[in-house]
């Protein structure tokens, strides 16, 4: 997130109105500090014009503000960028849910449905969700999508994410796109049936999703990177996901002019490795560590590995791991 951080020295906290929705606010102190904001800044999660507010332990996630918007860090750990894909943005515009009160399983479901809409059911819409889910509050006015069937539409999406509610930050409303459609206050109750009633075709579209293979309906951190971009560059990503390598040489009438590789410069078998990296959440397209300095890149990789719970190691050990990855990418891949 190549965002600017605005100092709040002398800034009045009257800009924030506490809604008093948290049962134990003393236990829900923000843990997403300035170092985490700096790491997120390098990921390109927001545009260069976005202005973030420095870390402040005294402000909780359930505050309302006309000037600042509270974001949970969780969707960005999945590779999303703001503005989120159109399908996901429509969900929040229709329900009026705030990002910070949206539980992790909702983000997982929306990411998968956005993927399915792009690849399999292009006419899928938010109104169809009522066939498979109910919008339900789960304490402290935080909401999840409760499956109406014993066979959930999206598989392996309901796992809880420990400590997600403490990882949030604020971005100035007038510095980001689509700010007019974002709510000011947390939602305290919602009737999904009234907000987005299904259409006559909704059941048919949901049935198409159920007909997909389990692998196409299962949430995974190794999602194709097609869903890991904002609504502003989805089309570009879709085109880049097509394989471009070919193992066969192009026929030519002057085949003798093509030099044969010498024993010293044998073709490397690295193309398969690079193709696999496009499906990885740690790929350079989503987390561009080649574009930054080593120390900055190392800090970014360390934060990501810990955030998605792939590793929970000492930073020094992760640093050595990153050295191997960095050297392999920058030198052996030349």
For residue 135, what are its two tokens? 């919008």
- Separation in Å, CA 138 to CA 120, 128, 143, 322: 31, 22, 6, 38
For position 317, what pLDDT does the model report? 59
* Cα–Cα distance measured from residue 65 to residue 86, given in angstroms and rounded to the nearest whole number: 24
* Cα–Cα distance measured from residue 78 to residue 108, given in angstroms and rounded to the nearest whole number: 9
Q: What is the mean pLDDT of the chain?
A: 76
Does the pLDDT at position 233 exceed 70? no
* Cα–Cα distance measured from residue 71 to residue 86, given in angstroms and rounded to the nearest whole number: 17
pLDDT digits (tens, 9 = 90+) for 113-122: 999 999 999 9
pLDDT digits (tens, 9 = 90+) for 105-144: 999 999 999 999 999 999 999 999 999 999 999 878 999 9
Closest among 171, 181, 179, 229 to 3, alpha carbons compared: 171
Does the pLDDT at position 52 exceed 80? yes
For position 332, what pLDDT does the model report? 52
* Cα–Cα distance measured from residue 128 to residue 327, given in angstroms and rounded to the nearest whole number: 47
Per-residue pLDDT averaged across 164-172, rounded?
A: 97
Which 8-state DSSP code applies to residue 196?
Answer: S
194 or 237, greater pLDDT: 194
- State the first-to-last Cα distance of the chain, in angstroms, to the nearest integer: 28
Which 8-state DSSP code applies to residue 132?
Answer: T
pLDDT digits (tens, 9 = 90+) for 247-286: 444 444 443 344 444 444 444 444 443 333 333 333 333 3
E strand or H helix that includes residue 169: strand 168-172
Does the pLDDT at position 237 exceed 90? no
Buried b (16+ CB within 10 A) or exposed e, 276-313: eebeebbbeebbebeeeeeeebbbbbbbbbebbeeeee
Work out the pLDDT band at 64, boundaries 50, 70, 90.
Answer: very high
pTM over 0.75: no
294 or 42, greater pLDDT: 42
HSE at residue 140, side-chain half, CA atoms within 13 A, is 17
For position 330, what pLDDT does the model report? 61
For position 41, what pLDDT does the model report? 85
* Cα–Cα distance measured from residue 185 to residue 17, given in angstroms and rounded to the nearest whole number: 9
């Amino acid at each position: 997130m190549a965002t600017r951080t605005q100092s709040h020295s002398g800034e009045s906290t009257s800009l924030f109105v506490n809604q008093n929705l948290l049962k134990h606010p003393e236990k829900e102190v923000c843990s997403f500090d300035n170092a985490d904001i700096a790491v997120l800044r390098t990921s390109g999660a927001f545009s260069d014009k976005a202005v973030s507010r420095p870390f402040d332990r005294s402000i909780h996630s359930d505050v309302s503000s006309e000037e600042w918007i509270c974001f949970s860090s969780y969707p960005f750990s999945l590779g999303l960028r703001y503005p989120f894909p159109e399908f996901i943005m429509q969900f929040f515009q229709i329900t009026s849910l705030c990002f910070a009160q949206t539980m992790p399983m909702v983000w997982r479901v929306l990411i998968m449905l956005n993927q399915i809409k792009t690849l399999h059911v292009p006419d899928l819409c938010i109104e169809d969700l009522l066939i498979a889910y109910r919008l339900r509050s789960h304490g402290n006015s935080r909401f999840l999508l409760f499956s109406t069937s014993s066979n959930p539409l999206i598989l392996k999406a309901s796992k809880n994410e420990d400590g997600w509610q403490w990882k949030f930050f604020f971005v100035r409303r007038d510095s980001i796109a689509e700010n007019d459609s974002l709510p000011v206050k947390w939602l305290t109750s919602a009737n999904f049936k009234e907000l987005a009633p299904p259409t006559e075709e909704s059941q048919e579209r949901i049935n198409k999703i159920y007909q997909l293979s389990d692998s196409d309906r299962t949430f995974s951190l190794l999602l194709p990177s097609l869903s890991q971009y904002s609504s502003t560059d989805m089309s570009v990503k879709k085109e880049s996901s097509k394989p471009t390598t070919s193992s066969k040489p192009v026929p030519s009438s002057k085949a003798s002019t093509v030099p044969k590789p010498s024993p010293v410069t044998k073709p490397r078998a690295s193309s398969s490795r690079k193709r696999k990296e496009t499906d990885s959440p740690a790929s350079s397209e989503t987390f561009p560590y080649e574009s930054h300095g080593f120390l900055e890149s190392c800090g970014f990789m360390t934060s990501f590995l810990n955030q998605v719970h792939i590793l929970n190691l000492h930073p020094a050990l992760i640093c050595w791991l990153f050295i191997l990855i960095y050297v392999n990418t920058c030198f052996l891949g030349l």
